[in-house]
Amino acid sequence: MLSKTVAELSGALTRKEVSARELTQAYLDKIHQLNPALNAYVTITAEQALAQADAADNRRAKGNASPLTGIPIAHKDIFCTRGVLTACGSHMLHNFIAPYDATVVERLEQAGAIMLGKTNMDEFAMGSSNETSWFGPVRNPWDQARVPGGSSGGSAAAVAAGLCAMATGTDTGGSIRQPASFCGLTGLKPTYGRVSRWGMIAFASSLDQAGPLTRSAEDAALMMNAIAGSDLRDSTCLELGFEDFTAKLNQPLAGLRIGLPREHFTKDLNPAVQTILQNAIRTLESLGASFKEVSLPNNYLSVPAYYVIAPAEASANLSRFDGVRFGYRCENPDNLEDLYKRSRGEGFGDEVKRRIMVGTYALSAGYYDAYYIKAQKIRRLIKQDFDLAFNDVDLILGPTSPHTAFKLGEKVSDPVTMYLEDIYTIAVNLAGLPGMSLPAGMLNGLPIGMQLVGPSLSESRLLNVAHQFQMNTDWHSQRPEV
């Protein structure tokens, strides 16, 4: 039962083959069994989950259930959850009990989803391997000597290992898509502003976006139906009415034009990964899609531009963590300055400190124009490259990551090498576009992800293509033997 998709579980609940309470207890038992090895969860809300399950069963008995009613979910620990620890993977927030729910959490609860707990993550979402967490690294269910990707690695590992049916993640530079690729999942980063950021602890406000991590595109569409939509509490959230993201899943792909960026298919891409993508391209061609080469000439500047803009915004956002109002506070400070310095020095980890210092430097007098403004100009050029490409094609296809999941400890001591892990994903965030990763093959027993990118607000088309691909392949059905 725990290997089924959300859509399959929803059907089983409707047919009364299983109750929400039975399903929830089964997941809790599996979490108890496997989480000590994987470290995917940092908080397990068993009592609350069983109470929500009973409410879901009552709701289904009355006939007013949604497709997600009774479906167990895990939330990335970046989302505030009322009355539950929200630590964001950091010692700084090791004692922060959120007094309210994030909009995403609130909407999924209204849909009847059952929260099993909060998942591990890179500290303040800064990392590509889930090794910067104060709670320790998460292990990939496909190979526990390897990383699950970051920063949403806990959510990805939980779904892949069958410790929940679906999970929330956030994507600032690839942090939904890269873990999805490493763990063999479907991960969607929506258009910037499509999903509310209210109650989601900020890393880089102009880049952060919440989205689903699921087994299939159909499941991702069901989650998007619940979480997408305008929110008056978030001024950056787009004012859009309800859209049914499942409505076009079965639309034929005849006439679909897909672009292949020449900058992504170079000698730097692992030949075995390229072969897997070529096989996926042939599958999509057989379904009616056509392909042509496109160019994203400024894509190579996305990593340096991102690592000026994101740290600059992080420097501003994390200034609120000062040891005064909430979170970690040092012991016996000598004065206010000592309180600030020691609380931040002891509360933040190395990677967070590194990015705060880079961001503060880029925003300082004399360097603002040379670095921050120039990076924003490059960001505009990257967006223009996508706009020009989408004049000729409907979507863009390429690799999510240059390789499979790497080993724990392999890159954590080399920040620059770690930053290059997101080389194919960062540009999508800089341009504010929707992008998703879906399983396209296996290499040496590990999953390989394929990335699809579309114009703004094209999530339904992305989900349609992914669903049609998954109806004709079984890569998304592969499960690790944990």
Point out the residues that are catalytic.
Answer: 76, 151, 175
Rounded to the nearest 10 degrees, how much is the dihedral formed by the CA atoms of 183, 154, 175, 419?
-90
Distance from C-alpha of 255 to C-alpha of 235, rounded to nearest angstrom: 37
CA angle, 181 as apex, 175 and 182 as ends, to 5°? 90
Tell me if residue 378 falls in helix, strand or coil: helix
Distance from C-alpha of 229 to C-alpha of 242, rounded to nearest angstrom: 6
* C-beta of residue 129 within 8 angstroms of C-beta of residue 418: yes
Residue given tokens 């490409």 in the structure block: 389
**Cβ neighbours of residue 428 under 8 Å, at least 6 residues apart?**
174, 189, 434, 435, 453
Structure tokens at 347: 């509360």
Alpha helices in 212-298 (DSSP H): 217-227, 271-286
Phi, psi of 407 (to 5 degrees): -80, 150
Distance from C-alpha of 30 to C-alpha of 244, rounded to nearest angstrom: 32
Count Cβ atoms within 10 A of the Cβ of residue 451 and give its class: 0-12 exposed, 13-18 middle, 19 or more buried: buried
The secondary element (H helix, E strand) that includes residue 419 is helix 415-419
Rounded to the nearest 10 degrees, how much is the dihedral formed by the CA atoms of 379, 380, 385, 388?
160
* C-beta of residue 289 within 8 angstroms of C-beta of residue 379: no
Distance from C-alpha of 86 to C-alpha of 383, rounded to nearest angstrom: 34
Distance from C-alpha of 424 to C-alpha of 426, rounded to nearest angstrom: 6
